[in-house]
Amino acid sequence: MNYQAYAHIYDDEYRDYTEDIQFYVRWARRCAAPALELGCGTGRILLALAEAGCPVWGLELCEPMLQRAQEKLAKLPAHVAETVRLVQGDMRDFDLGQEFGLIYLPFREFMHLASEDDQLNCLDAIHRHLTPNGRLIINLYDMDLVTLSQRSESNVPLYRQHGGDYVDPRNGQKVFLSSASHYKPATQTLHEERFYDRVDEQGAVVERRMVTITQRWFFRWEMHHLLHRANFRVHELYGGYDRQPVGEMGSEMIFIARPANEKELQSEVEWLENKLARIRTSKKRS
């Protein structure tokens, strides 16, 4: 997504989206401090954690998004602000010189990683930064297959009105959201163009802005295997922030994973050694 162009409208669009915040606050309280948010954006969740007394670091690629977070951080009381560290960096390759009891990727951040290499590099970097008893939380969309197939049937994008219209607090003007999206099954990517139409008091459109977003789609067991391959184990899986079971179509997938322990890794090493031995034996025979 082009977050450079998005930074100035992000907080207006998601001002009322708070349903995930307490979920992460609860996990941050359960895990050893500090927590780390990858792709922390303008600090929507991260700053709420800090205000709830949870020390937290944020890593963010896009400078204007991080700048917004820094401006908001500067307005917090000093004793809260000093528990926060904001770092510009890439979640596919980072070295913060610090271990974390919780690393979380909320609001479908992992879906920005299109290639298998990017996904595995990110999971590897997370593994290096997580304490042995730490937790990794990854939130993904769980969109129903009917909607996905509607969006992939033709090259004509499906236009729909968002529920996210908002009022610009600076001038009271309404901003209407709509989008065109197209899902490509072959690459499991959904490409979306979002339009932000600012209207005046008479309802006339006075400005149209567009941002584009491409997200890599993940299915439940694909993610399960990916985590396993990166030496994590799925500890819990939820379909929403009230910890409801996964599978209620159109909702969320929230993976809670932990690093594999020594015994689990040892049994994988033995499995691979056996496999290698069999390959070597059959090579000798042929």
Ligand X SMILES: C[S@@+](CC[C@H](N)C(=O)[O-])C[C@H]1O[C@@H](n2cnc3c(N)ncnc32)[C@H](O)[C@@H]1O
First to last CA, the chain: 52
**Residue carrying structure tokens 């989206």:** 17
90 DSSP 8-state letter = B
Hey, which residues between 40 and 69 contact ligand X (CB under 6 A)? 40-41, 44-45, 59-62, 65
Q: Which of 51, 90 has the CB closer to ligand X?
A: 90
Q: Which of 106, 134, 164, 259 binds ligand X (CB under 6 A)?
A: 106
Tokens of residue 102, six digits: 């919780």
Least distance CB 26 / ligand X (angstroms): 16
Q: Does 111 bind ligand X (CB under 6 A)?
A: no
Which of 136, 139, 141 is closest to 257 using CA atoms? 136
Residue 205 beta carbon to ligand X: minimum distance, rounded to whole angstroms: 26
Write down the H helix ranges in 211-261.
Answer: 220-229
Stretches 37-45, 124-132, 165-173, 193-201: which one binds ligand X (CB under 6 A)?
Answer: 37-45
| The residue type at 30 | R
Choices 107-115, 180-188, 216-224, 269-277; region in contact with ligand X by CB under 6 A: 107-115
Q: Which is nearer to ligand X, 60 or 192 (CB)?
A: 60
Task: Return the number of the residue (54 or 65) whose C-beta is nearest ligand X.
Answer: 65
Size of the site for ligand X (CB under 6 A): 18
Question: How far is the C-alpha of 87 from the C-alpha of 66, rounded, in Å?
Answer: 8
Rule CB under 6 A: is residue 164 a binding residue for ligand X?
no
Distances (CA, A) of 146 to 111, 142, 150, 257: 20, 12, 6, 29
Q: Between residues 90 and 165, which has the closer beta carbon with respect to ligand X?
A: 90
- Is residue 216 close enough to count as binding ligand X by CB under 6 A? no
Position 140: which residue type? L
Q: Which residues contact 184 (CB under 8 A, 6 or more apart)?
A: 152, 190, 191
By 3-state DSSP, what share of the chain in percent is helix, strand and coil, each rounded to 5? 35, 30, 35
Q: Look at strands 100-105 and 232-238 and give their pairing.
A: unpaired
* Least distance CB 138 / ligand X (angstroms): 12
Q: Closest separation between CB of residue 183 and ligand X, Å?
A: 18
- Residue 92 interacts with ligand X (CB under 6 A)? yes
Q: Which of 48, 50, 57, 109 binds ligand X (CB under 6 A)?
A: 109
Which residues are CB-neighbours of 121 under 8 A, at least 6 positions away? 92, 93
Q: What 8-state DSSP symbol labels residue 116? A: H
Instruction: Classify residue 269 by its DSSP letter.
Output: H
Q: Distance (Å, rounded) from C-alpha 69 to C-alpha 182?
A: 31
Of the two residues 39 and 260, which places its CB atom closer to ligand X in the complex? 39
Which residue lies nearer to ligand X by CB, 86 or 260? 86
Residue numbers at the binding site for ligand X (CB under 6 A): 3, 39-41, 44-45, 59-62, 65, 90-92, 106-107, 109, 112
